[in-house]
Amino acid sequence: MEDYMAKYESWLSSDYFDAEDKKELEAIKNDKKEIQERFYKELEFGTAGLRGIIGMGTNRMNKYIVGKATQGLANYILKQPGAAQKGVAIAFDSRNMSYEFAQTTALVLSANKIKAYIYPELRPVPVLSFTIRHLGCTAGVVITASHNPAKYNGYKVYWEDGGQVPAPRDGEIMKEVNAVEITEVKKTTIEEAKKAGYYIEIGPEVDDAYIAAIKKLSLNGDIIKKVADGFKIVYTPLHGSGNKPVRRILKEVGFKNVYVVPEQELPDGNFPTVAFPNPEFPESFALAIELAKKVEADIIVATDPDADRVGGIVKTSNGDYAILTGNISGSLLTEYVLSQRKAKGTLSKNPAVVKTIVTTDMIKPMCEAYGAKMFDVLTGFKYIGDKIKEWEKTGEYTYEFGFEESYGSLAGTYARDKDAVAATMLLCELAAVLKDRGLTLYEGLMELYEKYGYYKEGIKSITLEGIEGLERISYIMEALRKNPPTDLAGKKVEWLCDFKEKQFKNLITGETEENNLPSSNVLRYKLEGGAWVCVRPSGTEPKLKIYYGIKGTSLAHAEEEVKNLEGFMGDYVDKL
C-alpha cells in the first residue's frame, strides 16, 4: 500500500478522530488523487506557521493539525523560563473554521497549563500584534489566511515583541511541532480551562488602548474637522474583520460621512460577493464603486479579511476610478508621513524607512529629500518588524514608516505587523488634506510623480497548485538559477542577485557585492536604465510571483515599459 493510502486508512480507522469528521474522508474513498493530495505530506509548519485548504487530512487545515501545531508551540514555551505564566494571546478573523481553530488553540494551551488570552469575536491581525505587547504575553496566535480564497485558512505565530517569530526561534518551534504526534495533543474543556484560570477572554479595554495608539498617528485632525461635512468615504471590509475598528477610528478622528458597502459589511467566510477577498484585485471594488458613484465619494477603501492590508481607489481627472497599487499607496503615505512630521518638527533626528526588495524604488529619492535612511529587507513584514526591534535596542535609527508592495504598511511602533486600520485612517486623512488644497488624491499622486519621477511597477502571479505545481515552481527557480538570463525584454541584465546562494554579481564588470540579508529563494535582476525584475515562490500560496519595476520618462512611457516587461516575463517563464 502506498504511504499516503496507509495514512488515509489510519485516519479512517483511528478512534482519535471524530466520527463526524471521518465522514468527509469516507466520501472520497474512491478518489485516489484526492486522497493523495490530502495525505501525501503533512501540512508544513513554516516560519509563519500554517496555511492550507480546510479539510480532513495531514495536508489540510483541520482541528487536529491545529492541535498538533499548538502542542508543539506549548512544548517550546514550557522550556522557556517564566514564559508559560505570561501566556499566549489568540485572535481570529472571519474565515470558515477560524473560531473553531482559535478554540482548539486556546484549549490545547490551557491543557498544558499555559494561559490563553482569547478574543470572543473576530479581530484584525494588527490587533493581535498590539495585544501581545499590551498584555505582556510570551507569544500570540492568529487564525487567518489573509486574502487567500475561501477554501483556505491559516495559523500564524507571533512572539513577545508582537512580530512574527524571528530566526532562529522559528526553526526551534518548527522542530517541536514536527516532533509531536497528533495523538499526543493534550485536551481539556472550556469549563475546566476557565475554572483553572487558563482560559481568559480579552475585554474591550484592549480595543480602546489599540484605537488610542492609532489616534496618536493622526497628523491633521484640524483639517479633517474643517472638511468633514463635505468629505465622503466609501469603505468595504470585504466580509472581514475590519468593519468595526475601521469605522471606529474614522469616526473618532473626525470623519462624518463613511458609507459601508452593505453587501460586504458582515463577516462571511465564503466571501460571496468576490472571487478573492483581496484589495489588490480591481474586481473586489465593483460594489464599492457603484456606491461611490451614488454618493460622490472622495475615496474608496477596502481591507482584506484580517485587516492588515488596505487598497484604495480614487477618481481620476476624467471621472473614471483608478486603483492605487500597494506601491502607490505606500509611496503616498511615506511622503505624507515624512513631509508632515518634517513640517511639524516631529521627524526624528535619525529617521528610517523600510521597504521590501520587491517594492518600488520611488522611496529612494523620497527618503533622500527628507534626510531619511532607506532600508531594503526580504519579502514579508516580519523583516520590517525586525528592524523596529533592532533600532529600539541600538538607537541607531528611529523607525518612521515601512511598507511592502502587497498593500501592507505600518506608521508606528505600537505593533509589529502591517495595519490596515491605521493605514485607512492615514490614507483618508491624506485625501482630506489634499481636498483642503483643492486637489483630489489622484492629483496628489501626479504631484508625486512630477517630484520624484515616473516609477511604475507590476506583478505577475502564476498559480501552480498541487504536487505537480510545487514541482514546476521548483523547476523554474532552478532553471533560472543555473542558466541566468543576460537580457530581459531587450534590456541588459547588469546585476544578478541570488538571495538563496547569497551571490550578487555584476554581469558586465564581474564586480561582486556582499549582502547580509537572510538566505531566501529569491532571484533579482537589475537591468539597464534602472529597471528590475524579481522572481520568487510565494510563501503562503501555490504561486510563482514575478515582480518588475521601471522609471519612465513620462507616465505613459512608464506604463508601456511595465506592460512590455510583464508580457516578456510571462512568455519567458512559460518556455522554461
Among 59-68, 384-393, 507-516, the least confident range: 507-516
User: Confidence class of residue 540 from pLDDT cuts 50, 70 and 90?
Assistant: confident
Q: How far apart are alpha carbons 413 and 217 in whole angstroms?
A: 10
pLDDT at residue 386 greater than cutoff 80: yes
Q: Which amino acid is at 86?
A: K
Q: Is 139 helix (H, G, I), strand (E, B) or coil?
A: strand
pLDDT band, residue 254 (cuts 50/70/90): very high
Give yes or no: residues 34 and 129 share one domain. Answer: no
Q: For 380, left (φ over 0), alpha (ψ -120 to 50), or beta?
A: left
* Distance set, CA 554 to CA 449, 452, 557 (Å): 9, 12, 5
Q: What does the pLDDT look like over 471-526, one tens digit per residue?
A: 999 999 999 999 989 999 999 999 999 999 998 999 899 999 988 898 999 999 99
End of a domain among 452, 476, 507?
452
CATH code where residue 505 lies: 3.30.310.50
Residue 62 lies in a domain: yes
pLDDT band at 215 (very low <50, low <70, confident <90, very high): very high
Between strands 257-260 and 232-236, the pairing is parallel
Mean pLDDT of 410-420: 97
pLDDT of 140 > 60? The answer is: yes
| Dihedral angle of Cα 379, 385, 390, 395, to the nearest 10 degrees | 120
CB 106 within 8 A of CB 214: no
Residue 48 has pLDDT above 80, yes or no: no
- Scan for cell 511602533, then name that residue: 413
What gap in Å lies between CA 470 and CA 462, rounded to an integer? 12
Q: Are residues 33 and 49 in the same domain?
A: no
Share of the chain above pLDDT 70, in %: 100
Domain with 15, as residue range(s), is 1-40
Q: How far is CA 311 from CA 203, 219, 233, 300, in A?
A: 30, 21, 13, 8
Determine the pLDDT at residue 568: 94
445 and 459 both lie in a single domain: no
Let me know whether 135 and 116 are in one domain: yes
Do 18 and 91 share a structural domain? no
- Asked if residue 214 is part of any domain, the answer here is no
Domains identified in the chain, total number:
4
Same domain, 4 and 77: no
Per-residue confidence (pLDDT) for residue 319, from 0 to 100: 81
The residue to which cell 522557556 is assigned: 80
In this structure, are strands 543-552 and 532-537 parallel, antiparallel, or unpaired? antiparallel
Q: Is residue 505 part of a domain?
A: yes
Bridge-partner residues for 158, per DSSP? 140, 164
- Domain presence at residue 434: yes
Let me know whether 7 and 60 are in one domain: no
Same domain for 123 and 65, yes or no, is: yes
Q: Which three cell numbers stand for residue 414?
A: 505600537
Q: Kindly provide the b/e burial profile for residues 469-501, where b requires at least 16 CB atoms within 10 angstroms of the residue's own CB.
A: eeebbeebbeebbeeebeebbebebbbbbbbee
* Residue 385 · residue 416 · CB < 8 Å: yes
Q: Which of 401, 398, 349, 399 is nearest to 371 (CA)?
A: 349
Q: What is the pLDDT of residue 199?
A: 98
Residue 208: inside a domain, yes or no?
no
Instruction: Place 402 in a pLDDT band, splitting at 50, 70 and 90.
Output: very high
Residue 516 is predicted with a pLDDT of 87
Q: Which residue has the cell 500554517?
A: 50
Looking at the structure, do residues 172 and 103 belong to the same domain, yes or no?
yes
554 assigned to active site: no
What mean pLDDT value characterizes the chain?
95
User: Is 489 found in the same domain as 428?
Assistant: no
Pair 326, 305: CB distance under 8 Å: no
Phi–psi pair at 26, nearest 5 degrees: -65, -30
Which residue among 392, 421, 452 closes a domain? 452
Mean pLDDT of 562-575: 92
Write down the pLDDT at residue 467.
85
Which among 426, 452, 478 is the end of a domain?
452
Q: Give residue 542's pLDDT band: very low, low, confident or very high (50, 70, 90).
A: confident
The answer as to whether 215 is a domain residue is no
**Residue of 146, 331, 406, 409 marked active site:** 146
Structure confidence by residue, pLDDT tens digits, 307-351: 999 999 998 878 888 899 999 999 999 999 999 999 999 999 999
* Pair 509, 561 in one domain: yes
d(C-alpha 542, C-alpha 1), whole Å: 28
Whether the per-residue pLDDT at 125 is higher than 90: the answer is: yes
Q: Is the pLDDT of residue 30 over 70?
A: yes
Residue with cell 472581514: 240
Task: Name the 3-class secondary structure at 128.
Answer: helix
Nearest CA-CA partner of 11 in 21, 2, 1: 21
CATH number at residue 120: 3.40.120.10
Split at pLDDT 50, 70, 90, the class of 539 is: confident
Query: CA 531 → CA 234, 239, 356, 565, distances in Å?
Result: 35, 38, 16, 9
Same domain, yes or no: 137 and 273? no
